[in-house]
Amino acid sequence: MERKQFGLGDIVEMKKQHPCGTNRWKIIRMGMDIRLKCQGCDHSVLIPRQKFEKSLKKVLVRAEEEQA
């Protein structure tokens, strides 16, 4: 069973921080597009999965694993 690099509910750091100065994003929706919520200002963005994977720097906090 392979583990995904990221999952729903994880807190991630991106290559570019949000203009508000925070670089902590929570994954709030997974799919063809990934929806992220900035943990600094609660702004949310929708990013195509491929682009997200490229701009993901690291997973800061892993959400508990759940069965999909």
Binding segment for Zn ion among 4-12, 25-33, 34-42, 47-55 (CB under 5 A)?
Answer: 34-42
38 binds Zn ion (CB under 5 A): yes
- The helix (H) or strand (E) run that includes residue 55 is helix 49-55
Return the number of the residue (28 or 41) whose C-beta is nearest Zn ion. 41
- The helix (H) or strand (E) run that includes residue 54 is helix 49-55
- Among positions 40, 45, 47, 60, the unique one binding Zn ion when judged by CB under 5 A: 40
Return the number of the residue (41 or 46) whose C-beta is nearest Zn ion. 41
| Cβ atoms of 22 and 12 closer than 8 Å | no
- Among positions 8, 13, 18, 59, the unique one binding Zn ion when judged by CB under 5 A: 18
Burial tier of 40 (Cβ tally within 10 Å: 0-12, 13-18, 19+): middle
